[in-house]
Amino acid sequence: MATAKIIYGTAWKKERTTALVVSAVLHGFRAIDTACQPKHYREDLVGAALQILYDQHGIKREELFLQTKFTSIDGQDQNQPLPYDPSADIPTQIQSSLRTSLKNLRTTYLDSLVLHSPLRTLSQTLAAWRTLVSLQASGVVRKIGVSNTYDVAVLESLERDGGRRPDVVQNRWFEGNRWDSDVWAYCVEHGIQYQSFWTLSGSPSLLRHPTVRSISSAKGCTPAQALFKIAQLNGITPLCGTTNEQHMDEALAVERLDLSDVQASVDDVLKFIRA
């Protein structure tokens, strides 16, 4: 399917995950992000939602972009069931986590598999990355990527030493890290899909910015919609994790928002972000 312009994020949804994923897809989302990490995600309940969407609404697996993550032991709650044996080597851990994800999501393939973060050492990260490269070559995974990776040197090493460049980078894009400008620019330059989280909640200064407010007023949209559209126009695919159905509709409506007649204002916002 075509590259998604916005992705529904399922972190922190807990027992509400199934109902919210069903709602998000029925409202129009066609890309879903989750993780094989019971600490913050209910990947199994995403799978339950996909079954409901097929059985009751005729929405087929191939109509959806499904992305999940391998989470290393440092990101897991060891008081909860783990998707792999932490004493196993890294490739075996990833293969076990993948099998769990396929079972949870009731699918035979993934559109995207992402390392939830770099591992403790670059050597371990490269071992994990080479495993993802081999899974992609096997066809069970279509895209591979990394998350929470804020050093361009690590991304360069994945290509140079790990076998290939990522298809996807998913990072916090917010004022606390100056909107991740180096990694964002690297991804745009190299055709990597840059997925952002904390796009709205982490950018209150942008949502209050007078120019964003003026774009919102001129275009009859919310500041959040204006910010999402500015991101999309500049190589960013936002994650949206709203639990509010009106906000789901507003996020999806961004695709139809045309800012071409306020390009000077958009440029001013970008100058503020990149300053």
DSSP 88-117: S-HHHHHHHHHHHHHHHHT-S-EEEEEESS
Sign of CA pseudo-dihedral 144, 21, 119, 102: negative
User: Could you give all domains of the chain from N- to C-terminal order, each with its CATH number?
Assistant: 7-204+237-242 (3.20.20.100)
- Average pLDDT, stretch 254-266? 98
Residue 66: both structure tokens together:
């499904």
- Average pLDDT, stretch 169-176? 98
Which of these, 220, 235, 242, 244, lies nearest to 274 by C-alpha position?
235
pLDDT at residue 66 in the model: 98
Element (H, E) at 65: strand 65-70
Find the angle CA(204)-CA(65)-CA(165) to the nearest 5 degrees.
80
Helix, strand or coil, per DSSP, at residue 173: coil
- Average pLDDT, stretch 242-264? 98
Q: pLDDT tens for residues 111-144?
A: 999 999 999 999 999 999 999 999 999 999 999 9
Which of these, 202, 153, 154, lies nearest to 179 by C-alpha position?
202
Check pLDDT > 80 for residue 270: yes
Side-chain-side CA neighbours of 96 within 13 Å: the count stands at 16
Distance CA 237, CA 228 (A): 9
φ, ψ (nearest 5 deg) of residue 143:
-125, 150
pLDDT at residue 3 in the model: 81
Q: pLDDT tens for residues 30-73?
A: 999 999 999 999 999 999 999 999 999 999 999 999 999 999 99
Distance CA 180, CA 19 (A): 33
pLDDT at residue 1 in the model: 64
- Average pLDDT, stretch 5-32? 98
Distance CA 272, CA 15 (A): 39
Structure letter (DSSP) for residue 192: -
Is 177 exposed, middle or buried, given 0-12, 13-18 or 19+ CB atoms closer than 10 A? Answer: middle
Distance CA 176, CA 248 (A): 25
Residue 258: both structure tokens together:
């045309």
- Determine contact, residues 222/250, Cβ cutoff 8 Å: yes
Q: pLDDT tens for residues 196-226?
A: 999 999 999 999 999 999 999 999 999 999 9
